[in-house]
Structure 1
Amino acid sequence: MEDVDQETCTWPVHYYNLLSYIHQALGSSTEALMNLNKAESVIQEQGTEEAGVRLQVNKANLAWVYFHLGEMEKSKEYLEEVERLQRMHPAPPGCTLHPEVSGEKGWTLVKFDLSKKCQAIDYFKMALKAQPDRKEWHKGLARVMTMEFAQSQFTPEQTVEQLKIAHEKDPNSLLLHAHYLLKLSEKTEKEKGQKKVSSENIEREMQDLLERTLETGNLEGLHIILRYYTKEIYFDKALQIAERVQEKFPSSVLASKLLANSYKWKVYNMEGSEEKEIFARKAIKLYEEAVRHNPHSYKVKIALASMYRYVNNRERSHEIYQQLLSEIKDFSPERQQHIYYNYAFHLFDCRQYEESIKYHMKVAKIPSDSVDKQKSIKILQNIVRKGRSRHCEEILLILERINISD
């Protein structure tokens, strides 16, 4: 819920649709219906042909909620209304779906379905084919192209170009602007020639963006700004920024979490055990607070577990992982892979090498493709090449089953 706000959504109807989806997933149908009714009110106020198309999405969502409530007649009525609206507002020639529908599908997959993010790319491209100037679809495609899974599908030039288009169409989006500058800086790093001038310009723009973030209180792009400073300059600069933001917005959960992340990366990249412990304790305090605020945040729990290692409290790290493992069936396949992958490293750190291998094997066995799966597969391939583990034969069978050669 904390990740869905009106700043990160492309338009009010999209915001209410996402809130409705979340409430329904949490079992609160009343709240879901209330948000869908708000979405419909916004659509009706438009009074344009586009409103009739957007109602297709709204009515289909209402049919879905009533279906889950067991009110089949109402669900059927809304589905019939969707069919009527589709006849009134058919998809453009060459499109299987109306761009309003395919674009909404794309945004929903980006926000909630990790396993189908590749499909989101297709939906946004489909929407842009019919509406090439629509900023919402350019923004959606740009966002999904910056995600880790998509890095192998696009060249840096393609990603930067799409971010540039999206930023030009929505210059007020601090998140898009931050993504654009970060990707541009990464591209510039690999190029020769005017690298110094380009880097200085990017740094100046990023500093301006930081000041806008502090001035407006809109923190949606802050994590990208911090990532830039972590990569481009040094960790202390990112840490100073995070502390400055947290000082200005002390009640912001996001600001506290990002400060904790900055402490974490400082710990990972510094020498000297005493100093590491000081920063690790600072991170732990903030992460514990974040977990109290949102006990379902598995990534925060993993980060918290990693910090306890640096204060010589592996028992607490182990407790956190055991809790996550006890709830593993509640997570999506990709999140299961992420938990198993990090737990494998925790076990390796505890010198439980064979147990660590077992969890990399668990990651590889899960059908969904992910960055964590690719990393675990590489580790398993190296283990087979060395030939020292008693699990080598089992690993070979797993790799063969998923069509990976050693």
Structure 2
Amino acid sequence: MALLRVPPLTELLLQPPCRGNSFRPKAHDHSGSSSDSALSALQCHFTWDLNGNDHRMHCLIDDLIDICPSESTPWRGQMYNLQGFFQARLGRSSEALTLFCSASDVLTGPELLVNYSDLAWLHHQREEPEQSQEYLRRVEQLSREHPTEGDLPHPEVLAEKAWSLMKFSREQKLEAVELFEAALKQEPHRVEWRSSQVIGIASIHKLDRVQKEFLKKMQEAHENDPENLYLSAVCLIQRQLHGESVEDEMNDLANRIIPTANSSYSGIKPVIRFYRQIKQENIAIFWAEEALEHHPESRYVIRCAALCYKWRKQVIQLYPDSALVKEIDLADVYGKSKRSKAEQMYKSLLQRKMEPSQKQMLYNRYAKYLLSIQQDKRKAIKYFWKAVRIDHDSFFRDNSIEILMKLTKQSRESILAEAQSLSQIAKLEDLECHFTWQLNRSKSILFFVRDRLEDLLYDESTPWRGQMYNLQGFIQARLGRSSEALTLFCSASDVLTGPELLVNYSDLAWLHHQREEPEQSQEYLSRVEQLSREHPTEGDLPRPEVLAEKAFSLMEFYNDQKLLAVNRFEEALMQQPQRVEWLSAQAIALVRAKRHQEPLDEEVLIKMKRALDQDPNNLELYAEYLYQQDRKEKQRNQREQRSWRREQRGEQSTSTAAHLKQEASAVAAQLLEKPVTLHRDIRSVLELQRSVVSVDAAVSLAEKALQKFPDSRYLKSCLSMSLKLLLQTEIDRANVLAKSNHSLSQADRIYQDLLLRQDLEPVSKQQLYNSYAKFLKFDKQKSAEYHMMAAEIPQRSYFRTNSIDVLMEVISGRDSALRREVEHFLETIQEI
């Protein structure tokens, strides 16, 4: 195969050119008139063997349309010619004629040789011989006006043939390189030809490094054609392949390309190919999105973006465990048509745990999504700030700063200064701890929870000791007692180990921040980061210890969020199913959340039994389980309305009740044998005693427990509650007897015995006096006396209020002496 001898340029190519004597028109087997022979001798698209099937032609037409030629595009007329030829091949002669005529309007001088030749061929195919002959004459006239040396075609013809061949196979691209070289030999000053020749060679070596000599020629072409941004991108790719660091230059170039990115000649595609080549698909996606913002209707830009998304999907499928950041970009494509899907993906991504650099990119991309798709400027600014506050120098931080400068009219210096002051707050807000869990309660509730936790800390063996110190410390901080809070958090630090310290260190970082101690706060932030690195988790969930502590805190803080606590325990147990104390706490939270449900779900009982099998020594859980079994049995008995069914089940019910009573007594005995867990377990055990055995049994148990810890206010409270219930039981018995005229004396004896008691607390006394006054309602004088005794006790309660209301009614009565006595009393009693 003969090689055309053109200077060493083509010798630098990996493959030799594929055709010899390429510049002479090929012989065509056209029989017939002299006109046919003349047409066959023409140099144009119809004689250059530009073969391809219909699908290929359609694809090439789309490629040419994507160039979006402007008046300054150097190949505008040639584009129209090639499009016209493809339309003619597809049988669309009218469209072809329009395109060829558009080319005629753009081209001048010898550039019209190919155009007139194409028109001669088109009219010939349309069976319009006169018009065909007219264009043949124009070709001859142009050839005479612009003669060439030797037998070579005109350089404009060579250049157009070269430009057309570049759209086809590798072999034809190699031929195009030779054709450009031959054209440049005649007209070396044609910058656009040299640039296209270099781009043609680069397209043959898309992902391969060219030889250094050719790289030098590429750079020379770029120097002569600096406004050709496509050529600039191609040169940077080759320089990178030769080991140069060109990322900054490519970034600057991409900024210049964006305004014209809707054209395939802009260079946007080589830019995104470059970033994929260096394994930074996220940057490629970024520039594709930038182009989409500027040219939302451009199908070429959409196509480039789709290519990036395709890469992203491939990477996510190949690397499901390490492609987290790549999903960020995939979410953006859904934002164009499926906003709900995009929001869902972003919500999931924002909840994930990731490195600061990854989080910075996520915030930047989400902010741009909010700004361009959701049109939510306020929220977008919030996330741009989040990206800037992360102390990591990157493109995404710089880009966020630039956008904030436009949106907020602030200078770069003021943004950086503000970001520095707020970066620590941002880190604190990202922590998982009591200060970020929205544990907002009134002061009275805070005091109540604090006191309860202090009571529970009697039990040194409790598995939640460290978490109780943390929660107490948080409560003290909320109450403005930072010194007490610091002491409690430090106590938690002494008890907790490993990842259990994550919440504790986070709480301490917050506390020192509130105490205006930035160095200590930063120290604990560093400890949190170090612990997180030492104890990474699989997937995106927080550490199970963090989830469990959050669940525990919700249980202690709220009555209406116990189901949420159950869910947090479930998430923790999915990671560490062997943690028995979490399983037991979850079961207790579940039953207390559904305590008022009638009847309790069988599924709840099953979960309690499963937890009890794992934790048989947990008396609190066991008492809760027996209590629920007792409730279930009583509900079943209440449903038995027919005597024959009661008789049928009577033996079974008695047996079940006796068994439960025996179990309840055994639990009480075990509780007294294990004083280390007494404070944790006693509440549930007392409730079981009252329900299954008797109120007297509950009182007896509370008294024995108090003997073991005589200074425990919690146990005193338990005994007081039991005594109140005992009092209420006796009052209820007396009231039942009072409904029968035959038992009035017996009811009165019960009240007299209760009135002799010296151990009643103020509220219990009010209850007794109020109830006895109502019992004596037919003796107005005595009834009023006991109502006054109830009202005289300076303790706010329902019973005092009710007695005062009754006394107010006495004032309007007919008994003037009693009325005066009550009026005087009400004037003198203490207001509370």
Q: In which range does the TM-score fall when normalised by the shorter chain?
A: 0.5 to 0.7
**CA deviation digits over 1:139-163, x for unaligned, max 9?**
2212222326654499342332233
Residue from 554, 578, 583 that aligns with 1:133: 578
Residue from 795, 798, 814 that aligns with 1:320: 795
Structure 1 residue 286: Cα displacement: 5.6
Q: What does residue 275 of structure 1 align with?
A: 750
Query: Is this contact kept in 2: 1:156–1:187, CA < 8 A?
Result: no
Which one-letter code corresponds to 1:65 in the other structure?
L
Evaluate the alpha carbon distance shift between residue 246 and residue 9 of structure 1 in structure 2; reply closer, same or farther with a 3 A threshold: closer
The CA RMSD measured in Å over matched residues stands at 3.7
**CA deviation digits over 1:102-134, x for unaligned, max 9?**
110011111124454342222112212222231
Structure 1 residue 209: Cα displacement: 1.6
**CA deviation digits over 1:168-225, x for unaligned, max 9?**
3333332222222212222233447644433333222221221122233353333333
Evaluate the alpha carbon distance shift between residue 113 and residue 68 of structure 1 in structure 2; reply closer, same or farther with a 3 A threshold: farther
Residue from 79, 96, 106 that aligns with 2:525: 79
Evaluate the alpha carbon distance shift between residue 157 and residue 308 of structure 1 in structure 2; reply closer, same or farther with a 3 A threshold: farther
Q: What does residue 219 of structure 1 align with?
A: 678
Residue from 653, 668, 691 that aligns with 1:210: 668
Structure 1 residue 277: Cα displacement: 6.4
Residue from 508, 516, 520 that aligns with 1:70: 516
Structure 1 window deviating more from structure 2 (190-199 vs 58-67): it is 190-199
Which one-letter code corresponds to 1:222 in the other structure?
I
- Cα distance in 2 for partners of 1:118, 1:226 equals 24
Query: Is this contact kept in 2: 1:179–1:224, CA < 8 A?
Result: yes
Query: Is this contact kept in 2: 1:145–1:151, CA < 8 A?
Result: no
Residue from 631, 634, 642 that aligns with 1:186: 631
Within a 5 Å distance, the mapping from 1:235-246 to structure 2 comes to 235-246=695-706
- Cα distance in 2 for partners of 1:240, 1:267 equals 14
Evaluate the alpha carbon distance shift between residue 153 and residue 187 of structure 1 in structure 2; reply closer, same or farther with a 3 A threshold: closer
Query: Is this contact kept in 1: 2:486–2:511, CA < 8 A?
Result: yes
Which one-letter code corresponds to 1:257 in the other structure?
S
- Cα distance in 1 for partners of 2:583, 2:684 equals 19
User: Percent identity of the aligned residues?
Assistant: 27
The reply to whether residue 31 of structure 1 matches residue 445 of structure 2 is: no
- Cα distance in 2 for partners of 1:351, 1:149 equals 37
Q: What does residue 720 of structure 2 align with?
A: 260
Question: When the two structures are superposed, what TM-score results if normalisation uses the length of structure 1?
Answer: 0.63
The reply to whether residue 161 of structure 1 matches residue 606 of structure 2 is: yes
Q: What does residue 494 of structure 2 align with?
A: 41
Structure 1 residue 100: Cα displacement: 0.9
Q: What does residue 535 of structure 2 align with?
A: 89
**CA deviation digits over 1:66-121, x for unaligned, max 9?**
1332324433442344244334434432x532211111001111112445434222
Evaluate the alpha carbon distance shift between residue 227 and residue 157 of structure 1 in structure 2; reply closer, same or farther with a 3 A threshold: same
Q: Secondary structure at the match of 2:554?
A: helix
- Cα distance in 2 for partners of 1:154, 1:62 equals 44
- Cα distance in 1 for partners of 2:525, 2:755 equals 54
Within a 5 Å distance, the mapping from 1:353-392 to structure 2 comes to none
Q: What does residue 543 of structure 2 align with?
A: 98
Evaluate the alpha carbon distance shift between residue 314 and residue 195 of structure 1 in structure 2; reply closer, same or farther with a 3 A threshold: same
Evaluate the alpha carbon distance shift between residue 277 and residue 19 of structure 1 in structure 2; reply closer, same or farther with a 3 A threshold: farther
- Cα distance in 2 for partners of 1:208, 1:86 equals 45
Query: Is this contact kept in 1: 2:594–2:600, CA < 8 A?
Result: no
Evaluate the alpha carbon distance shift between residue 287 and residue 5 of structure 1 in structure 2; reply closer, same or farther with a 3 A threshold: farther
Within a 5 Å distance, the mapping from 1:299-338 to structure 2 comes to 306=767, 309-310=770-771, 312=786, 313-316=789-792, 319-321=794-796
Query: Is this contact kept in 2: 1:24–1:65, CA < 8 A?
Result: yes
Question: When the two structures are superposed, what TM-score results if normalisation uses the length of structure 2?
Answer: 0.33
Q: Secondary structure at the match of 1:269?
A: helix
Question: Which structure would you say has the larger RCO, counting Cα contacts within 8 Å and 6 or more residues apart?
Answer: 1
Structure 1 residue 26: Cα displacement: 4.4
Query: Is this contact kept in 1: 2:686–2:698, CA < 8 A?
Result: yes
- Cα distance in 1 for partners of 2:559, 2:457 equals 19
Query: Is this contact kept in 2: 1:59–1:78, CA < 8 A?
Result: yes
- Cα distance in 1 for partners of 2:599, 2:572 equals 19
Evaluate the alpha carbon distance shift between residue 42 and residue 227 of structure 1 in structure 2; reply closer, same or farther with a 3 A threshold: closer
Q: What does residue 170 of structure 2 align with?
A: none
Evaluate the alpha carbon distance shift between residue 308 and residue 17 of structure 1 in structure 2; reply closer, same or farther with a 3 A threshold: farther
- Cα distance in 1 for partners of 2:485, 2:706 equals 33
Q: Secondary structure at the match of 2:455?
A: coil
Residue from 206, 226, 229 that aligns with 2:689: 229
Evaluate the alpha carbon distance shift between residue 202 and residue 134 of structure 1 in structure 2; reply closer, same or farther with a 3 A threshold: same
Query: Is this contact kept in 1: 2:587–2:611, CA < 8 A?
Result: yes
Evaluate the alpha carbon distance shift between residue 261 and residue 279 of structure 1 in structure 2; reply closer, same or farther with a 3 A threshold: farther
Structure 1 residue 320: Cα displacement: 2.9
Which one-letter code corresponds to 2:770 in the other structure?
R
- Cα distance in 1 for partners of 2:509, 2:754 equals 51
Evaluate the alpha carbon distance shift between residue 260 and residue 83 of structure 1 in structure 2; reply closer, same or farther with a 3 A threshold: same
Evaluate the alpha carbon distance shift between residue 188 and residue 153 of structure 1 in structure 2; reply closer, same or farther with a 3 A threshold: closer
Q: Secondary structure at the match of 2:678?
A: coil
- Cα distance in 2 for partners of 1:144, 1:280 equals 40
Structure 1 residue 230: Cα displacement: 2.3
**CA deviation digits over 1:31-60, x for unaligned, max 9?**
33233333333445xxxxxx1x22211211
Structure 1 residue 276: Cα displacement: 4.0
Q: What does residue 146 of structure 1 align with?
A: 591
Query: Is this contact kept in 2: 1:124–1:137, CA < 8 A?
Result: yes
Larger radius of gyration: 2
Q: What does residue 569 of structure 2 align with?
A: 124
Q: Secondary structure at the match of 2:463?
A: coil
- Report how many aligned residue pairs link the two structures: 310
Unaligned segments of structure 2, at least 5 residues: 1-450, 638-648, 735-746, 773-785, 807-832
- Cα distance in 2 for partners of 1:10, 1:252 equals 20
- Cα distance in 2 for partners of 1:102, 1:250 equals 36
